Structure 1
Amino acid sequence: MSPRTIVLVGATSGIGREAAGTLAAAGHRLILIGRDPQRVRDLRAALPTATVIAADVATKAGIDSAAQQIAESVDRIDTLINNAGVMSQQRTVTAEGIEQNFAVHHLAPYSMTSALLPLLRQGGGRVVNVNSEGHRAALLRSDPIDIEFEDLYSTRDYHIFVAYSRSKLANLHFSYELHRRFPELEVVAVHPGMVRTDLVRGFSGPRMLAMRALARAISLPTSEGAGPIVHLATEPEIRRGAYYNRYSPERSSPVSYDLDTSRRMWEVTEQLRGLFF
Structure 2
Amino acid sequence: MTVTINTEQLDRMHSGQGFIAALDQSGGSTPKALRAYGIGEDAYGDDKQKMFDLVHQMRTRVVTSPSFTSAHILAAILFEMTMDREIEGIPTADFLWQRKGIVPILKIDKGLTDEADHVRVMKPIPGLEETLARAREEKHIFGTKERSVILDADETGIPRIVDQQFDLGEKVRAAGLVPILEPEVDIHAPAKEKAEDLLHEQLRSHIDALPDDARIMLKLTIPSRTDLYADLIAEPKVVRVVALSGGYSRTEANELLARNHGLIASFSRALAEGLSVDQSQQDFDATLASSIASIYQASIS
State the TM bucket, normalised to the shorter chain: 0.3 to 0.5
Provide the TM-score with structure 1 as the length reference.
0.37
Structure with larger Rg = 2
Provide the TM-score with structure 2 as the length reference.
0.35
The structure in which a higher percent of residues are helix is 1
The structure in which a higher percent of residues are strand is 2
